[in-house]
Amino acid sequence: MTDNKIQVASDGTLTVPAHVAIPFITGDGIGAEITPAMQQVIDKAVQVTYGAERSIVWKEVQAGQHAFDTLGTYLPDDTLKDFADYHIGIKGPLTTPVGGGIRSLNVAMRQGLDLYVCLRPVRWFKGIESPVKHPEKVNMVVFRENTEDIYAGIEWKACSREARHFYEFLHDEMGVTKVRFPETSAFGVKPVSIEGSKRLVKAACLYAQSQGSNHVTLVHKGNIMKFTEGGFKNWGYEVNDECFGGNVRMDDCICDAFLQNALLKPEAYDVIATMNLNGDYVSDMLAAQVGGIGISPGANINYEQGRAVFEATHGTAPDLAGTNQANPCSLILSGVMMLEHLGWTEAAKLVTAALETLFGDGYATADLARFMDNGKPLGTKEFADALCDVITK
């Protein structure tokens, strides 16, 4: 298997073997249906493009409810180790443990592997119903910082001993008098670092250059949170000067204005670099704008270490599990991102083209087909089969 492992140079460049091993997590709920669908479609595209010369050697690893039931842990150490060793992996949705030690498996994986970029491309497919008049004008890629900000998980419950202690520190040692109801306040901490911000913005700039737009918009709330969000903005501009000689076309926008502008003039934006909380809101709003919250793909990446985990962005849809109705497109498009990341772009293009063909003809799973003028609903398996049928050179 060693020969099938991706090698990573010190600058993060990948050397991808022809028959590359990719660890995958099937996922809970609908994962059992959408993950095989994704593998079937990706395998077909690779086979049509490269014949016997290239293939993906899928290696199953465990996480989620299934791992808990069989191994007694939601996230086995071996799974993180495999993702680290093999560098690139893909995952279906995971049940969030209720009342356990882990708040979120996804957050634990992002932090455990230091996957500091959450990458979300947002584009519209012809045929997909959208709530806006011109969804074709939306074509953006969001770089969301994944490891810092108010999402770092540093917070204390209202009225707890820790919250009181924290307030005493604020009041007695830092001279803070602005907490309106100190006795009953919960507290959270928002760490935002120079390194964390700069590596995120640098990755966004490199991506913008590689795609030819060379245009990055920093989305922040620095008018109010001057040191954290304002710091992010300032360090972003510094990165442009320090690493790119100021040659990236960079601008910035206050987050609330961005949410408005993205609806009114989406064509003004290309690559968005933003912090964790803003990025969460922005990604879902943009995905909804192209009618695709159920089909938007995502990836979590550390470019320096050459690590990436591609993922469905929706949850386990327990209401659909086992019914052959789940839409596999979020995971399939994440597989497309994975192929692009591996440099197997010809195969990636075939899948995208096949999706365009099927959607254009009204074929989709029921969640999308019911809103299409000429919608013809297909089951998960039948949709994957139909995609494979139209994947040709």
Choices 94-102, 168-176, 215-223, 332-340 (CB under 6 A): range interacting with ligand NAI: 94-102
For residue 40, report the phi and psi dihedrals to the nearest 5 degrees.
-60, -45
Active site residue 221: yes
For every residue of 57-108, DSSP letters joined together read EEEE---SHHHHHHHS-SS-HHHHHHHHHH-EEEE---PPPSSSS-S-HHHH
Q: Could you say which of 39, 62, 79, 106 contacts ligand NAI (CB under 6 A)?
A: 106
Q: Is residue 314 a contact residue for ligand NAI (CB under 6 A)?
A: yes
Nearer to ligand NAI, 344 or 363 (CB): 363
Q: Is residue 144 a contact residue for ligand NAI (CB under 6 A)?
A: no
In whole angstroms, give the CA distance from residue 246 to residue 265: 25
- Active-site hit among 44, 202, 221, 233: 221
Nearer to ligand NAI, 76 or 315 (CB): 315
Q: Which two tokens stand for residue 109?
A: 């994986």
Q: How far is the CB of 120 from ligand NAI (least distance, A)?
A: 12
Handedness of CA 192, 197, 200, 204 (dihedral sign): positive
> DSSP label at 170?
I
Active site residue 367: no
Which residues, 6+ apart, have CB-to-CB distance to 92 below 8 Å?
24, 25, 26, 27, 28, 30, 31, 34, 35, 311, 312, 331
Q: Could you say which of 108, 109, 299, 320 contacts ligand NAI (CB under 6 A)?
A: 320
In whole angstroms, give the CA distance from residue 265 to residue 22: 39
Active site residue 280: yes
Q: How far is the CB of 229 from ligand NAI (least distance, A)?
A: 25
Q: Which two tokens stand for residue 266?
A: 């989406």
Q: Is residue 234 a contact residue for ligand NAI (CB under 6 A)?
A: no
Q: Is residue 319 a contact residue for ligand NAI (CB under 6 A)?
A: yes
Choices 87-95, 142-150, 192-200, 274-282 (CB under 6 A): range interacting with ligand NAI: 87-95
Contact string 357-376 vs ligand NAI (x = CB under 6 A)? ----------x---------
> DSSP label at 133?
S
In whole angstroms, give the CA distance from residue 259 to residue 194: 25
Q: Is residue 317 a contact residue for ligand NAI (CB under 6 A)?
A: yes
Binding site for ligand NAI (CB under 6 A): 30, 93-96, 106, 294, 311, 314-320, 326-327, 330, 367
For the annotated catalytic residues, the residue numbers are 151, 221, 256, 280
